[in-house]
A = this chain, B = another copy of it.
């Protein structure tokens, strides 16, 4: 069972500590302007109030996204009132979600539990974050350190397949099948050309080379 880490900008955490009975499943931390005070493993759920004493909530949200430690936290903005424009701003600042406040203990837990089931589905369909590389499945756009990478459709599919199987040697056959190309049969050497083109495109965007050749086997997407 995974740990669920909940970050809050308000004092609600202390009250939640007592509210929740199964302490092993949850941790709570107060979120300050410097980000989280301690590192945690497992999924992170941040609830950020729209207005904060020392910092705009939106800015806090952007900082979380920019910090590699918290970049893949699930961020919920807590709006003061139900303004469509605020909602959009929240999402645009990188929030995954929002609620209309004030935040209650049950609201936090309901939300976390409700979204938890969707989390796997979301990460599969929405967005990869792999080191400097980001892949946005909705926009079909990859970035290296925020810099857009111009990719042809096949290159994008290839990169995505690598991103789905990091740190794992993929044979040329794996790659051909992984991209769903059976008809007409593809020459295995063609994969080398795919790799070359993908590498070149990433480099053109100022990126490094995350694709390592494993002689006489295939290629690996190196991560960490």
Contact = CB atoms under 8 A, between A and B. Distances in A.
Interface of A: 59, 62-63, 65-66, 68, 71-72, 82, 84-85, 87-88, 91-92, 94, 96-100, 106-107, 110-111, 114-115, 118, 122, 126-127, 136, 138-141, 148, 152-153, 167-169, 214-217, 220, 222-223
B220 A139 contact: yes
A140 B217 contact: yes
A195 B167 CA distance: 26
A98 B139 contact: no
A167 B84 CA distance: 19
B66 A87 contact: no
Chain A interface, DSSP helix/strand/loop, else mixed: mixed
Contact of A72 (B62, B87, B152): B87
List the number of copies, as a whole number: 2
B153 A215 contact: yes
A139 B222 contact: yes
Contacts of A68: 88, 91
Nearest to A68: B91
Contacts of A99: 94
Contacts of A136: 167
Given A140-B220, A167-B138, A220-B141, A94 B88 contact: no
Contacts of A82: 96
